[in-house]
Chain A
Amino acid sequence: MTKNIMIVGVGGQGTLLASKIIGKLFVAKGFDVKVSEVHGMSQRGGSVVTYVRFGDRVYSPMIDKGEADYILSFELLEAARWTEYLKKDGILITNTQKTNPMPVIIGAASYPENIEEKIKGLGLNLDAFDALSLAEAAGSAKAVNLVLLGRLSRHFDYADEDWLAVIRECVPEKFIDMNIKAFYAGKEVK
């Protein structure tokens, strides 16, 4: 049975590192894995999405509407944008940080209000929390990705060491401790 994880955010937030870490984890666990990324123009502050799929045999590298078991969202508006991709019984984990897109900055559109309530109103499982503050407390605002991965790890029956091993493989040595701290901050948040 193939499981689908989507990672969504704003270009430059570190979504690619998050997909790299979970991709490696599932390979280490013996699954067939596909990870699809977007490079190029959208990385310049645009809406970005990465798909991670794992199972016995994975064909498509993409995840479509109604197919995601988990969505990890780095920003609240992006959570709203990609809500439609969640399975009915999937889980949407989101950072509550808000980053205004250019149409909002210049006044051509407005940032929707009460996003969390509206997503819950669809009957979907939402896990929203302030990952940015936890990342900053761990040492860097850039560690939001590890905080979210820590949160995701609660849904998998893997030993911490399995996660830490791939984190060590994927981040530069001098940032390993900080990233592990951020991972635990996400994992242990109430």
Chain B
Amino acid sequence: MKKLMLGNEAVARGLYEAGCSFVSSYPGTPSTEITEEAAKYDEIYAERAPNEKVAMESAFGASLAGKRSFCGQKHVGLNVAADPLFTISYTGVNAGMVIVVADDAGMHSSQNEQDSRHYAIAAKLPMLEPSDSAEALAFTKLAYELSETYDTAVILKMCTRVAHSQSIVELGERVLPDPVPYVKNPQKYVMMPAMAKKRHPIVEERTAKLTAWAENTEINRIEEGKDHSLGIITASTSYQYVKEVCGDTYPVLKLGMINPLPVEKIKSFAASVDRLVVVEELDGIIETHCRSLGLAVEGKETFTCMDEFSQKTVARDLKLPFEEGRAFPEEVPARPPVLCAGCPHRGMFHILNKNKVNVLGDIGCYTLGALAPLSAIDTTICMGASVSGIHGFVKSTPENAKNTVAVIGDSTFMHSGITGLVNIAYNESNATVIILDNSITGMTGHQQNPTTGINLKGDPAGKINLEELVKSIGITDVAVVDPYKLEECDKAVKAALSKDCPSVIISRRPCALLKNVKHPGAISCDTDKCVGCRSCMQIGCPAISIRDKKAYIDGTLCVGCGVCAQLCRFGALPERKEF
């Protein structure tokens, strides 16, 4: 059966067909849907782990026990899981293990543009890189075969345009692999120095064998062209742009395996063309390999290491003709993403802005609190960095403890905020940490997490109590506030900052977009009372604008959270209702 599928959905289908039975991941755009889709197959046990390191180690545990396993993450998620990654490379696997890393060239939804292919080289693990959904499915299945044949975890590298593009796939049946028993083998699995020393040569031999495989596999294929004045080596989504622009004019070496790269195949391809060009997004990995073989090659001096490509950038850089469009004749205002109408983070950010405090931020929807007019976040680095960062900030400059807070979401706190808070308690810094608890993982599209009491399949699950967790770490000053109530937030923030001990404020309201969340409904502005003072505009609510010099509430967006009404001194907005 043929079906139009997202690349991520196709990977999930590949997991199903390959007989994978254990999936554990933390969400992260553009990798999230793989695990969501895998969870829809009853035959696969799929879960959300608190972070990527836990997910990868759990997947390894399942492989060890004899089940084909999987974990998937975005590029920065692999940084979190890098510790197990490098040593799993030494131990190898029992049943097949596949790891997805999804890069985000162009940073559609990420804080950096790192090229995860470096990880495959550094950890000495094979990496396959599909260029559309059909390959995403096929390569996932192939990855399990390679994993078991060569005793290695295999990385499948996705990118935004492959992960989030739909193309046609042919569905197959699920085939269960033969059962693999667990056999104790400390020489293979206990990576203490004496044993790890014996495993390292095995890793090197494996790479040599995989290089030989890379020379002959069909996934590294030459597509003939009429004109040999130019030959192009490419992979992933770049292959699609090259074919779009060049058709079958020039020969193309399309690489499906990125690590290890073939040697002879590349040399013979290079020998068949006058000019060799590598088209790859982000860093010059294939190009560097070609240079190491002594080949004259063009790459990053023409094709930038920044942003994502398109057929147009490829045509431009190859000096081929392309169409131009007709631009709108004046500047079009940007439309950055915003906190939604009714977003529970808004009230707390307004209070932080009003109190002019330093705010160390974190990763999630609430990162949008950095934008005007809330302008309430000073830093965003990575998951958990707010809580660890504030410790260094106020420990090194104690005077800042009176005017600095950290903000972190519930899911991000579970991911890697806890250890930062342990540091605050243990090393005694006078830090104030605000946990923005919206009872869901918001930015990636409403994933459950350990604080929600529901698992990935939607069933009741263990529920971590944030207050009890924080107290058990040793934080005694713990307050819970409703971010829809500005005065309550203001008092709590001032109180926490004034105390000479670490404080945690849990700002709790479920995400306004959750289906089970009921709101009173849109309010409207009493234009007789409104004087157009714009006080309600301070909170950057997309439902509020000015029309005819009066506040205007967009009834299709407003949910009636009542935060704006608390800013109106003229009674033009109806008083907030309890709900």
A interface residues, Cβ below 8 angstroms from B = 10-12, 23-24, 27, 32-47, 58-62, 64-67, 77-78, 80-81, 83-88, 99-106, 108-112, 115, 118-119, 121-124, 141
Contacts and interface: CB of A to CB of B under 8 A. Distances in A.
A122 B311 CA distance: 24
A60 B240 contact: yes
Interface in B153-205: 161, 164-168
B333 A60 contact: no
B444 interface: yes
Contacts of A124: 326
Nearest to A78: B335
Given A46-B337, A61-B237, A106-B537, 10 more contacts: A34-B166, A42-B108, A58-B167, A65-B325, A80-B332, A87-B323, A102-B335, A102-B336, A103-B335, A104-B333
19 contacts: A23-B166, A27-B4, A33-B167, A35-B166, A36-B161, A36-B166, A37-B6, A39-B29, A45-B335, A45-B542, A46-B337, A62-B161, A83-B328, A101-B334, A103-B335, A105-B545, A112-B330, A112-B332, A122-B329
A87 to B, nearest CB: 7
Interface in B324-349: 324-340
Contacts of A64: 310-312, 322-323
Contacts of A45: 335, 337-338, 340, 542
A35 B29 contact: no
Interface size class of B (residues with CB under 8 A): 35 or more
B443 interface: yes
Nearest to A51: B165
A41 B29 contact: yes
B323 A84 contact: no
Contact of B335 (A33, A47, A121): A47
B332 A66 contact: no
Q: Is the interface of B mostly helix, strand, loop or mixed?
A: loop
A118 B330 CA distance: 9
Contact of A118 (B312, B328, B338): B328
B109 interface: yes
B445 A83 contact: no
A44 B241 contact: no
A38 B326 contact: no
8 A-B pairs with least C-beta separation: A40-B109, A40-B29, A46-B337, A66-B323, A66-B325, A61-B165, A109-B333, A101-B335
B285 interface: no
Nearest to B324: A66
A62 B334 CA distance: 21
A86 B132 CA distance: 25
B136 to A, nearest CB: 12
Interface in B213-264: 237, 240-241, 243-244
A34 B167 contact: yes
A59 B326 contact: no
A34 to B, nearest CB: 5
Contact of A44 (B330, B334, B368, B554): B368
A46 B327 CA distance: 20
B445 A101 contact: no
A65 B323 contact: yes
A74 to B, nearest CB: 12
A102 B311 contact: no
Contact of A77 (B33, B332, B340): B332
A23 B340 CA distance: 29
B4 A41 contact: no
B268 interface: no
A66 B324 CA distance: 5
B461 to A, nearest CB: 25
A59 B164 contact: no
Contacts of B168: 27, 32-33
Contacts of A37: 6, 164-166
A77 B335 contact: yes
A20 to B, nearest CB: 8
B427 interface: no
B371 interface: yes
B503 to A, nearest CB: 29
A31 to B, nearest CB: 9
